[in-house]
Amino acid sequence: MIRFEGAAKRHPDGTVAVEGLDLEVPAGRTTVLVGPSGCGKTTILRMVNRMVTPTAGRVLLDGADVAGLDAAKLRRGIGYVIQQAGLFPQRRVLDNIATVPYLLGWDRKRARARAAEMLELVGLPPETGRRYPFQLSGGQQQRVGVARALAADPPVLLMDEPFSAVDPVVRAGLQEELLRLQAELHKTVLFVTHDIDEAVRLGDQVVVLRDHGHIAQRADPHTLLTSPADQDVTAFLGPGRGLRGLGLVPATGVELDGLGRADGWELALDAEGRPTGWTGPDGQLQGPAPVFVPARDSLHAALDAAVLSPSGLAVAVDAETGRAVGTVSRAGILGALAAGAAAAGTSTGTSAGTAKVPGGRQP
């Protein structure tokens, strides 16, 4: 657990970066700091690994004041991921990942074996380890950065806008990968972003900051989207809060109808029962049929499929076989959203029932 107790940072010229921060970052969960540029997000993050020294207050890591810990030893026990990955250009990927194990005194064979495991964990093929950073795409470099941060199995992971320098498609894939890894590893993650969509997608707890690191609201994503603390938070969240909420609710709660006709439209299936399109009232086939996977996707993915479907129905398919298992209308999807929101509202804890949907297409 990370705890900030009255933490502040005043620069020698009198500029106040952070003032009197009190915040708890729960163990094993993802806490996202979000807010406008210059509000102190990165300063707060760097207080944890002593890259920034507070001028007042304390930062505690598992009850110990980090100011009393050896800085080098502290940093080796904390994973750190930044923009542009920060890889050593003269080292091959495998040795980049093994950096902290080497610093901890691991022998070369053990460190490289661990690095190879991390490559697999973040979804990169083994041959990637023999390449240099310049031979990788931006998304691959960021995956290597995550692998390096995890190589020594640190309990805490600090991530400073790690996905902001890649294109939207790669960014979505990296976010999905982080959700998958966190579901498996349960690290204490402190994540900085300026993107509210990224914050509500990744965070169990989202902390919206004002200037000087003052907390405007700290809440789970569902509460943040449905009950902003004030007009400033509402303005920061921007339009489309309801649509963002669709991405927080898994599609498992959707009630499916049969595969028959709908207002003159009929679902066409192949010999294996997989949807190929919709046959219209004029007898013409329009395809492919937009689909979603209830076991994996969010309600946002389901609604997207319904909106794109000529029949107005989204087709639910089995994750493994791709066979159609039912259909659902837009009204049915919105009904599932209302039910999911009600369930989330009755939950407790920092996540307040928020569901993360690693495989879903999110807003």
DSSP codes of every residue in 149-174: HHTT--SEEEEESTTTTS-HHHHHHH
Give yes or no for residue 243 having a pLDDT over 80.
no
**Would you state the pLDDT for residue 242?**
74
Whether residue 173 has pLDDT greater than 90:
no
- Taking domain 251-338, whether its CATH number is 3.10.580.10 is answered by yes
Task: With CA atoms as reference, report the closest residue to 324 among 284, 276, 266, 359.
Answer: 276
pLDDT tops 80 at residue 60? yes
In order of 82, 212, 235, the CA distances from 36 in angstroms are 18, 11, 12
H or E element, residue 32: strand 30-34
The mean pLDDT value for 180-209 works out to 93
Instruction: Give the list of residues 6+ apart from residue 294 with CB closer than 8 angstroms, or none.
Output: 250, 251, 252, 254, 256, 302, 316, 325
Tens-place pLDDT, residues 63-75: 999 999 999 999 9
What integer is the mean pLDDT of 138-161?
92
Highest mean pLDDT among 85-89, 155-159, 354-358: 155-159
Query: Can you give the pTM of this predicted structure?
Result: 0.81
Residue percentage of the chain with pLDDT more than 90? 66
- The reported pLDDT for the residue numbered 344 is 52
Report whether 31 contacts 182 (CB < 8 A): no
Pairwise CA distance, residues 315 & 257, whole Å: 10
Q: What is the pLDDT of residue 353?
A: 39
So what's the pLDDT on residue 345? 52
Instruction: Kindly state the helix (H) or strand (E) to which residue 243 belongs, with its residue range.
Output: helix 241-246
Whether residue 359 has pLDDT greater than 60: no
Query: Reading across the β-sheet that carries 2-10, which strands appear in turn?
Result: 16-25, 2-10, 56-61, 64-65
pLDDT of residue 240: 77
- Domain parsing of the chain, residue ranges: 2-240, 251-338
Helix or strand holding residue 182 (H, E): helix 168-185
Give pLDDT, residue 119: 93
Whole-number pLDDT of residue 350? 38
Name the percent of the chain lying above pLDDT 70.
93
2-240 is a CATH 2.60.120.260 domain: no
Question: Residue 262: is its pLDDT beyond 80?
Answer: no
**Average pLDDT rounded to a whole number, residues 34-42:** 92
Say how far apart CA 185 and CA 363 lie, in whole Å. 25
* pLDDT at residue 274 tops 50: yes
Residue 56: the pLDDT is 96
Q: What is the pLDDT of residues 300-358, one digit of tens each?
A: 889 999 999 999 999 999 999 999 999 999 889 888 877 765 555 544 343 333 455 54
Q: Which of 241, 226, 233, 253 is nearest to 363 (CA)?
A: 241
